[in-house]
């Protein structure tokens, strides 16, 4: 049995969960917005006023057991997102590297041209010098956007130029030494 999947998901009084039985679409709405998700066929949901319980048809089957915990975690993130929201930050370091925020994000990161990134409608960005912060109710969309930004120019191991996630440890290599 899945340890994560067995746990019930507590629902706040401000959060509402509704499952459409025909299409198996779960809609979760709260004070910050609304999120929806298609539930796989072998996953069953028991929704009450105070909690959501996720079960599977055959808990001994490995693929269903893995999906059980994953779906439970995604639904829990949806509940937390419509209630509180999520934030993520990325920091840009390097001489001549800069970011400009408008309708789209313009990055000057050492290429011969500026890199223009379209901002998803579900994400709100703020920029303070070299620190880009984003908030959203969708944790998956926020994580995908910031990992895409980070992978455009990951942190260099020698000079630490590029994008870094604050709070994450980055190894700094020593480089060549003269004899």
How does residue 1 score in pLDDT terms, banded at 50, 70 and 90?
low
Q: What is the mean pLDDT of the chain?
A: 93
**Rounded to 5 degrees, what are φ and ψ at 111?**
-90, 170
Q: What is the pLDDT of residue 21?
A: 86
How does residue 175 score in pLDDT terms, banded at 50, 70 and 90?
confident
Q: What is the pLDDT of residue 5?
A: 86
Examine the pLDDT at 6 and tell me if it is beyond 70.
Answer: yes
For range 79-100, the mean pLDDT: 95
CA quadruple 63, 66, 72, 73: dihedral sign: negative
The DSSP secondary structure of 89-102, one letter per residue, reads EEEEESTT-EEEES
Q: What is the pLDDT of residue 65?
A: 87
Q: Which of 41-45, 75-79, 83-87 has the lowest mean pLDDT?
A: 41-45
Q: What is the pLDDT of residue 179?
A: 54
Q: Give the global pTM.
A: 0.89
Rounded to whole angstroms, the maximal C-alpha distance in the chain is: 74
Examine the pLDDT at 178 and tell me if it is beyond 60.
Answer: no
**Rounded to 5 degrees, what are φ and ψ at 171?**
-75, 135
Residue 76 CA: distances (Å) to CA of 25, 28, 64, 68, 166: 15, 10, 18, 12, 25
Percentage of the chain exceeding pLDDT 90: 85
Examine the pLDDT at 108 and tell me if it is beyond 90.
Answer: yes
Residue pLDDT, tens place only, 125-153: 999 999 999 999 999 999 999 999 999 99
Q: What is the pLDDT of residue 97?
A: 95
**Rounded to 5 degrees, what are φ and ψ at 70?**
-65, -45
């Amino acid at each position: 049995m899945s340890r994560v999947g067995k746990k019930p998901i507590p629902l706040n009084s401000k959060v509402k969960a509704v499952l459409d039985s025909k299409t198996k679409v779960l809609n979760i709405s709260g004070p910050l917005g609304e999120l929806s998700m298609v539930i796989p066929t072998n996953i069953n949901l028991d929704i009450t006023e105070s909690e959501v319980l996720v079960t599977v048809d055959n808990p001994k089957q490995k693929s269903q057991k893995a999906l059980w915990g994953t779906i439970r975690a995604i639904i829990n993130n949806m509940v937390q997102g419509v209630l509180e929201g999520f934030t993520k930050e990325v920091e840009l370091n390097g001489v001549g590297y800069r970011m400009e925020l408008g309708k789209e994000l313009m990055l000057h990161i050492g290429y011969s041209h500026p890199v223009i990134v379209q901002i998803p409608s579900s994400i709100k960005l703020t920029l303070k010098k070299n620190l880009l912060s984003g908030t959203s109710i969708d944790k998956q969309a926020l994580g995908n956007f910031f990992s895409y930004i980070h992978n455009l120019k990951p942190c260099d191991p020698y000079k630490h130029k590029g994008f870094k996630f604050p709070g994450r440890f980055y190894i700094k290599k020593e480089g060549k030494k003269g004899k």
